[in-house]
Amino acid sequence: MSATLVKELRERTGLGLLECKKALAAADGNIEQAIEELRKSSGMKAAKKAGRTAADGVVAVKVADDCSFGVVLEVNSETDFVARDENFLGFVAKVLDRAFAEKQRDIAALMAGQLEETREALVQKIGENVGVRRIEIIDADSGVVGAYVHSNNRIAVLVCLKGGDQDLAKDVAMHVAAANPQVVAPADMPEAIVAKEKEIFIAQAKDSGKPPEIVEKMVGGRVKKFLAENSLVEQPFVKDPDVTVGKLVTAAGATVDTFIRFEVGEGIEVEKVDFADEVAAQLNG
């Protein structure tokens, strides 16, 4: 196993050098598989995510005056320096305005014509690649849409409520930005994810040496906790941890319909290059 791969696994798991080497060898160098097996064997709850946010840029939202719909988008640059540039932010505003006016989530259709020419001119001016990565729209129908953007423009959230008002929707959106739930309610969690977590919990519980019936209860409790921690309505509200988000909105005569959360660069795999390895390779070449 390469030293770089072992180093990454240690950083993501906090486990020892030999343990990480053995796990990578057993997983044929597949770091995600190694993490899964380490969770089973060591009782580790989770691992830090890989360097998935190196793509820079900003996110932005816009909500209709009557709160009937909202648009959220992400526009990427190569560096944080450009992400703060007025010319770049001006381009983002133009993209957002057009997506909002046309209720357009198709990036190719949105960028056709003048916007693409504007993007190309911006790339020439700032010397970095710029791209509109994704756009989503929430249509509230008879509900209300609220939004929240973190102060550094790196996290943006749209929330749709059935009932309630824009202030409540904004509060819930702020919570989503901070707590990053995966789904609205436990029942919404994909079965494949639940099954994977249950498999890990079973392996952890078996190592405890407890009887099968106790293991079953332990696993059931851990699955329930996992679902509560990752479901919006079950999470303690960030402004008042004594109340769950579900109870907060219910008290206002509302329910959470859906939410969308964008974080700059999430899901983008970044090629990591070890400087020493790169120099050695050039010298050998």
For residue 252, give every residue at least 6 positions away whose Cβ sits within 8 Å of its Cβ, in sequence order, or none. 163, 164, 165, 168
Q: How confident is the model at residue 199 (pLDDT cuts 50, 70, 90)?
A: confident
Average of per-residue pLDDT across 7-22: 84
Per DSSP bridges, beta strands 131-139 and 56-63 are unpaired
Length of the chain equals 285
Lowest mean pLDDT among 91-105, 140-154, 199-213: 199-213
Average of per-residue pLDDT across 134-146: 93
Which residues on adjacent β-strands are paired with residue 149?
Answer: 156
Count CB-CB contacts under 10 A for residue 230. 19
Average of per-residue pLDDT across 194-202: 88
* Residue 171 · residue 277 · CB < 8 Å: no
Taking the alpha carbons at both ends of the chain, their separation in whole angstroms is 22
Domain ranges of the chain: 1-52, 56-177+258-263
DSSP 143: S
Distance CA(9)–CA(19), nearest Å, equals 10
DSSP 48: P
Alpha helices for the chain (secondary structure H): 3-13, 17-26, 31-42, 80-83, 86-102, 107-111, 114-126, 166-179, 191-206, 212-230, 245-251, 275-284
Distance CA(71)–CA(106), nearest Å, equals 12
Burial group, residue 78, by CB count within 10 angstroms (0-12, 13-18, 19+): middle
Q: Please say if the pLDDT value at position 67 is more than 80.
A: yes
pLDDT digits (tens, 9 = 90+) for 255-281: 999 999 999 988 776 555 454 555 555
Q: How confident is the model at residue 152 (pLDDT cuts 50, 70, 90)?
A: confident
Q: Which CATH architecture has domain 56-177+258-263?
A: 2-Layer Sandwich (3.30)
User: C-alpha distances in angstroms, 235 versus 182, 242, 257?
Assistant: 11, 10, 16
pLDDT digits (tens, 9 = 90+) for 173-188: 999 999 999 999 999 9
For all residues of the chain together, what is the average pLDDT? 87
108 is written with which tokens?
């190719």
Q: How confident is the model at residue 51 (pLDDT cuts 50, 70, 90)?
A: very low
Lowest mean pLDDT among 42-51, 68-77, 111-120, 176-185: 42-51
Report pLDDT for 52: 39
Better-predicted residue by pLDDT, 43 or 51? 43
Report pLDDT for 246: 97
Lowest mean pLDDT among 37-41, 203-207, 234-238, 257-261: 203-207
Q: Please say if the pLDDT value at position 207 is more than 80.
A: no
Class in CATH terms, 1-52: mainly alpha
pTM greater than 0.85 = no
